[in-house]
Amino acid sequence: MPDSTHMVTPAQRKWLPWLTAVGFFMQTLDGTILNTALPSMAEALGESPLQMQSVIIAYMLTVALLIPASGWLADRFGTRRVYLAAILLFTLGSLACAAANTLPMLVAARVLQGVGGALLMPIGRLAVLRVYSKHELLRVMSFVTIPGLLGPLMGPALGGWLVEVASWHWVFLINLPVGVLGFIASWYFMPDLRQHTARFDWQGFVLFSVGMVLVSVGLQGLGEHSISTGWALFALLFGLAAMASYWLYAATVAQPLFSLALFKTTTFAIGIWGNLFARLGSGAMPFLTPLFLQLGLGFSPSKAGMTMIPTVIGAMLTKTLVNKLIPRIGYRRILIGNTLTLGVMIASFYFIDNQVPHWVLLVWLAVFGAINSLQFSAMNTLTLQDLSAEHASSGNGLLSVVMQLSMSLGVAIAASLLGLFSAGQPAQASERWLGGFHLTYLCIGLMSMLAALIFAQLARDNVKEGRRQGPA
């Protein structure tokens, strides 16, 4: 594989981490600022708050679809062109979202935004990996991830504040100045790196993509009733059939989109399946909880946004402990115990109502954020730690896809359950909504706990391995 770093100027080398950080910030801010604004958006568009799940799912699913193609696009067209296109599409998508006056228009605009969002972080990270040496990577990537932590910290409160002092449109318009500045800076300072282009598995890509889209549409249709139950079930079954077809197809080709040889590594197989099921519950929480606070507890958008901040603070504080906990306790015990604890934490929202003091809710959300962060760190490092250099890139790509897919399915399942338990109840009747939210939390909490059965398949000597290696 030829080295392309000779084309990098000193100025590009200096500013590349900043460009990547800006892209990461845009992506993470957008992922959290929107959730708090959903009830206000639903009211303005004349839709039920439950219908707004499609705004979240459309973006997540688009990101999941395009992640496998990001590396090929960078090698085929160069990192500079693809990164510029990503920022441009994300910014234009944000403008289109703000201009939308119907839900279908908003969903279409979110797909456009998702195309850009899918490429921002992978292309930026790829450029960093190719420009900096191994001993520099830790310092550079640590810098890049700081804005990624600021996005979730600012997003919920900023989204709630914007819909109160202005309108929901500003949740998207706020991306425009950042996008314009990012585009101009990238035009001058993003290096144009490319390498030999391997054959892209278009047939596998289509099978995999069709399967993901139809499964999501089927689950969404069952929850929203936007299509008939028969068509929703047909989409769900056909999507599962397409995914099964990909599995059979991948076994017959030399260079599939995702090699089945990945699953010969036991920790990867367990980690992928564990990620898929564990994130169904935790991935639904950023969508479900802001709705719960506003529709169920009657919070204002700004109060709901501020209430979500302890979740992020708890997650940030836990990251400092992960490197100590996993080597000391081991992956198997942490993942079994933490998965069960996480499920109990989600299910325990069944007991949260207006009689619970606000400070108790804040502490509860902080503890949830800490446990959730430990879960993600342990699952991700377990999944990738034993892969060979040959399979590391493909395995990381599949993990990224599964993360996005699982979160989008989690949102669809949570919205379906909430629609089922709150059928026929008006959005303003917070007392009636409360019962629907409580039962939904209970169900997704129990569903999350099932992932502990997957992590129980880890060999007990992985405890020793965890002590020796710790997270990557």
Give CA–CA dist 409/215, Å, rounded: 8
Burial per residue of 143-170, b for 16 or more beta-carbon CB atoms within 10 angstroms, e otherwise: ebeebbbbbbbbbbbbbbbbbeeeebbb
In whole angstroms, what is the distance from residue 49 CA to residue 410 CA? Answer: 16
Percentage, residues of the chain above pLDDT 90 = 34
Classify residue 184 as exposed, middle or buried by CB count within 10 Å of its CB (0-12, 13-18, 19+). exposed
* pLDDT of 441 strictly over 60: yes
Lowest mean pLDDT among 86-90, 132-136, 235-239, 352-356: 132-136
Average pLDDT of the residues in 22-29: 84
- Burial pattern 424-443, b for ≥16 Cβ within 10 A else e, equals ebebeebeebbebbbbbbbb
Q: What is the pTM of this model?
A: 0.85
Low-confidence winner among 124-128, 144-148, 186-190, 356-360 (lowest mean pLDDT):
144-148
Residues 6+ apart with CB under 8 A from 321: 374
The answer to whether residue 313 scores a pLDDT higher than 80 is yes
Is residue 468 pLDDT above 50, yes or no?
Answer: no
9-38 average pLDDT score: 86
Look up residue 41 and give its two tokens.
């958006």
pLDDT at 408: 86
Tens of pLDDT, residues 369-400: 999 988 888 888 888 878 776 777 778 788 88
Encode pLDDT of 236-258 as tens digits.
Answer: 899 899 989 988 998 888 888 88
Encode pLDDT of 195-206 as tens digits: 776 788 889 899
As a whole number, mean pLDDT of residues 259-266 equals 87
